[in-house]
Structure 1
Amino acid sequence: MNKIAVVILNWNGVKLLEQFLPSVVQFSPEAIIYVADNASTDSSIAYVKEHFPTVRIVVNDGNYGYAQGYNDALQYIDADIYALVNSDIEVTENWLQPILDTFVKEPKTAIIQPKILDFKSKAYFEYAGAAGGFIDKYGYPFCRGRIFDTIEKDNNQYDDNCELFWASGACFFIRSTVYKELKGFDEGFFAHQEEIDLCWRAINLGHTIKYNSQAVVYHVGGATLQQGNPRKTFLNFRNSLLMLTKNLPKEGFYGILFARLVLDGIAGVQFLTQGKFKHTWAIVKAHFSFYSLFYKYYKTRINFQTQEYYIVKSIVFLYYVKRIRVFKDIFNNNQINNP
């Protein structure tokens, strides 16, 4: 098999391909590059064929979002390592070699994330991944370098290569054997939080997830759904609940799930007070969609979920009550599992 395949999922993104595909081709001599196209109706495929004839194209028969889009395309790609890269990512010189070195030296490492900085403000981390992800007891995700809407400047404070709970889907490296073992992403998610779910399932099976600061990419973010889009709110809230249903340990399962539903309700009220009525309605729809899917997802649970999946009990409490806004301050204030 080929050592590494860089796979860019695309849907009607010819402008993004024009802007970012050149850097991927220039700085990825170790890889075979693929564009996995979700049935685009623009000139994406024609552009790639004309300007980058060495880039291979896999065409899906519909726009199935991130999860099924990758699942369908990767069936036709042989590689030891899949590098799943958003179409709005600018890569840098030598971005692949540190990742490959880690996979070679650490056979237990199954998934790796690079340092993800903001393309629009390159001195800062980017929202979707930053320096690697964690979740709290109630399933709220946060990153080293980004807690909720507080984004840190990159001052090399996260230049270690540490273990993570989840790696960002914006630039996501995974061993193909592990991807197949996990049966890929959960296609019911469509988009958003499917990478966290996959990482949690990988950890439940004993695999390790790492961050590698020596590999650096720049991400535009929000190129598919902007942060303020109610559809994004719906998917994030619904998918997080489905992920908890699948992966929470048996002990305290219903209590944690109920607490999360209450916290979501508080978030909905907060949206109301801000005049964001569509987002409140999106949370309501997310909950009803979750109720309709609960039994289906409950049946997918396994019997050996990890008990130690979170490093803080409530990131909401730390952020909004204790006013801790920087990841390192969680440790500096001795807040690990003790909010």
Structure 2
Amino acid sequence: MPELRKDPIISRWVIISTERGKRPHDFVVEPEVTKGGFCPFCPGNEHTTPPEIMAYRPAGQPANSPGWTVRVVSNKFPALVIEGELDRRGEGMYDLMNGIGAHEVIIENPNHQATLSTLTIPQFADVLYAYRDRIRDLSRDPRFRYILIFKNSGRAAGASLEHSHSQLIGLPIVPELVQEELSGSLMHYRLKERCVFCDMIRQELQQGVRVVLENELFVAICPFAPRSPFEIWILPKKHHSSYIDMLDKEYLKLAELFSPVLRRLDVALNRAPYNFILHTAPVRETHMEHYHWHFEIMPKLTLMAGFEWGSGFFINPTPPEDAARYLREVQLEEAAPPAGESTT
């Protein structure tokens, strides 16, 4: 029988359509077609992108030249622009402000053929460090209240370029979805004097049925009320409200968990497109007792249609307990193959 499940953080309801009971091989994943041709993100083409904001490269090498391992540039077609003032104002009953913000691209590796899941653990950790460093830098801008990190992998997930990259948008407001999490977790904290995410982690580790992977510092789970099949959350076991509030070695441990999670999704779902989002505390609010940063990974396996748009409900044909079991049973090689030097 189908189940209605309530998200314990934001009270969102989802329908787990158990009668459909889709397994990994039941989803039709269109293969990505490699277009080839010129790539502005490949080494040697640095002059075709906006000037780099940050790059990891050997000391002494000039900016905007080859030799980098991670490179961050402004988005050539930004959703928001960084120059100017907010100028908050009203027009009758309506509120508006100028479209001020930061929109950056994190180019994850110089190798055009590499994906995030094929990077070595140190290479993956460098991407996670880059997220931290850019959030720290932009948090100093008094105009910004939130820094959103996200990745679109595959055309069906919104990626317009093949070369593996993530994006960052600095916002003058806290996004509604994050605000719902902040409000819901604060309500739980006021009632029980505990973090709802910490409670969730504790229960998931005790039950084990929705745990995909864990190490000593982090856990990956299929959440109790997932919006999409094979949705996965990655959370620190220790309470951290802000992603930037960790030691260097903790980001390496995060990479050690994050990488095999993506590789398991690749194997189980035939490299299905996916999105992931980093939800973290608003800028300059790095120590919140009620909030817990986390990554949310959502494979693109189903479409939102009239019922979903009209009701706000999500229909998920794969129970998270089944999804977690499928992913735990995936057989992986010892380590991800190293991403070599770019051949383009």
Question: Scaled by the length of structure 2, what TM-score is found?
Answer: 0.29
Greater C-alpha Rg: 2
Structure with bigger helix share is: 1
Question: Scaled by the length of structure 1, what TM-score is found?
Answer: 0.29
* Structure of higher RCO (CA pairs closer than 8 Å, 6+ residues apart): 2
